[in-house]
Amino acid sequence: MGKVKVAVATKGSKGVGDEVSDFFAKAETFTLATIEGKRAHIEVIKNPAANLPRGRGRAVVQMLKDNSVDTVVASEFGLGSSALLEHYKINQIVVKAGTRVGDVIRDKLYKKRRVIHIAMFEIACILLLSGIAFRLIILA
pLDDT tens-digit readout, 35-57: 887 777 899 999 999 999 999 99
Range of 24's domain?
A: 4-112
Q: Give whole-number Cα distances, 104 to 14, 26, 48, 108, in Å.
A: 14, 19, 23, 5
Residue 50: inside a domain: yes
**CATH code of the domain covering residue 57:** 3.30.420.130
For residue 45, what are the β-bridge partners? 30
Q: Give whole-number Cα distances, 2 to 51, 91, 115, 139, in Å.
A: 35, 16, 16, 10
Q: How many domains does the chain have?
A: 1
Report pLDDT digits (tens) over 79-135.
Answer: 999 999 999 999 999 999 999 998 888 776 655 444 444 455 555 555 555 555 444
Residue 96: inside a domain: yes
pTM: 0.76
